[in-house]
Amino acid sequence: MPLNQSFSWWCFAGRGVDDVDLLKAAKQIGYKAVELLPNDKLHLALEADLVIASHPGHRLQLEGLNDTACHDEIEDTIMKNMELAKEFKIPTLIVFSGERRPGHSDEEGIENSAIGLKRVAKAAEDAGINLIIELLNSKVDHHGYQCDRTSWGVAVCDIVDSPRVKLLYDIYHMQIMEGDIIRTIRDYHTYFAHYHTAGNPGRRDMDETQEMYYPPIAKAVSDTGYTGYFGHEFIPKGDVIEALEAAYKLCDVP
How confident is the model at residue 81, as a pLDDT? 98
Distance of alpha carbon 232 from alpha carbon 170, whole angstroms: 10
Per the CB < 8 A criterion, the answer to whether 180 and 135 are in contact is no
Name residues whose C-beta falls within 8 Å of residue 16's C-beta, 6 or more positions apart in sequence: 240
How confident is the model at residue 190, as a pLDDT? 98
Order of strands, edge to edge, in the sheet holding 55-56?
51-52, 33-35, 4-8, 229-232, 192-197, 165-170, 130-134, 92-95, 55-56
Per-residue pLDDT of the chain (254 residues; tens, 9 = 90+): 789 999 999 999 999 999 999 999 999 999 999 999 999 999 999 999 999 999 999 998 888 999 999 999 999 999 999 999 999 999 999 999 999 988 789 999 999 999 999 999 999 999 999 999 999 999 999 999 999 999 999 999 999 999 999 999 999 999 999 999 999 999 999 999 999 999 999 999 999 999 999 999 999 999 999 999 999 999 999 999 999 999 999 999 98
Distance of alpha carbon 144 from alpha carbon 172, whole angstroms: 17
Q: Flag whether the pTM goes above 0.85.
A: yes
